Amino acid sequence: MSAVLTELWPYFLMVIVGYLPNEAWRAFGLILARGLNEDSEIVVWSRAVATAILAGVIAKLVLFPTGALAAIPLLLRVVASVIGFVVFLAVRRSVSAGVLAAEAALLIGAFLLVP
Amino acid sequence: MSAPIAFSSSSAAFFAGAKTALTSVFMLVLAGTYIGIGALTHDFGLSSWWLAISTVLVWAAPAQVILITTVTAGAALFEIALAVTLSGVRLFPMVVALMPVLRGPTTRLRDLLLPTHFTAVSMWVESLRLLPAIENQWRIPFCNGLSAGYMATATAFGFVGFYLAAGLPPLLAGGLLFLTPMSFLMSTARNARMMVDKLGLVFGLVIGPLLTHLDVSLDLMWTGLIGGTLAYLVHRVREAAT
């Protein structure tokens, strides 16, 4: 019984703390779609908060990684991110070009530096 | 202006949407993002089916990354729910902006339920770009096809990333884990058109790790509230000055 529970627990969490809080915003948007426009102040503020959270997640994944990425030195992870972002800006804000450049920088650097 | 695009049936519109999804640039971005998330899922000891179901149910890469990195790390349920709730805020204005484009004179509320669930960055950007050129009655099936194409892509590449991470040498597995933050960084930067969004991104990048380093609890929530509100205040001050 407890083994089954242990196995189902992550699925239960997915629904309760993942699916429901996320879906609530969509349902809320559907209900209130008539009232608000994209430029209203509360929408601008909530978008800024959402962007900052996402940025926090990004920075944590690069600076405090787990598993295999942690084996690659911190400085190399940061330098590769900066190279990727500069290429992204240079190639007409192309997401694919930026991601490819960051990956190339990280893997070449790791291949040369990590024993 | 040219005549609006029409289809012979709802299923023709659906398949045209799905085909558009599989040939668009977002397909590559989604593939990269979900290969990364698949690797992350493997790294945190969750199953590949857990990821597939979360892709279909949650359908928001940031929320999924928060879930994956907190669920097994034993974070407080309240904190996970709060972080997911805050990360999902951006879905609200997206749905609000999309519904007027989808809704026609005869549209019923239940026809809008599926597009509402499908709303996410990739489908939203492409829907707003493509739907206005399509005849009103075919927009919902086209949008559903487009979204289903993206969701299938994401689900499939989640499995790819999961099993690649299981079998790859550590160096390349590290490269896969690097895909998620990089594709998030670039696509968020690309979506940030207004100054307030750019500031939110920069403040979040600085404040997030700072709070983690200081071991502040609920660090993601505070990153959002402090960084986002600072960005908003700067935006207000600049508006007042002009």
A79-100 per-position pLDDT tens digit: 999 999 999 999 999 988 999 9
Selection from B113, B201, B122 nearest residue B157 by Cα: B122
Q: Do B201 and A51 touch (CB under 8 A)?
A: yes
Q: At what angle do helices B195-213 and B170-191 cross, to 10 degrees?
A: 140
Residue from A30, A43, A51 whose CB has the most chain B CBs within 10 Å, to mutate: A51
> How much is the average pLDDT of A44-51?
82
Rounded to the nearest integer, the mean pLDDT of chain A is 88
Selection from A104, A76, A66, A54 nearest residue B197 by Cα: A54
**pTM of the predicted model, to two decimals?**
0.80
For residue A25, give the nearest of B69, B92, B209 by CB distance: B92
Residue A74 C-alpha, separation from nearest chain B C-alpha, in angstroms: 12
pLDDT tens, residue order, chain B (242 aa):
567 899 999 999 999 999 999 988 778 878 888 998 999 999 899 999 999 999 999 999 889 988 998 887 777 888 889 889 887 887 887 888 888 888 887 888 899 999 999 999 888 888 888 998 999 999 999 999 999 999 999 999 999 999 999 888 888 888 888 988 898 899 889 878 789 999 999 999 999 999 999 988 778 888 989 999 999 999 999 988 87
> How much is the average pLDDT of A54-80?
90
Distance CA(B82)–CA(A50), nearest Å, equals: 12
Q: Read off the tokens for B173.
A: 């597995």
Residue A113 C-alpha, separation from nearest chain B C-alpha, in angstroms: 11
Which residues from chain A sit within 8 angstroms of residue B174, using beta carbons? 67-72, 106, 110
3-state secondary structure of A93: coil
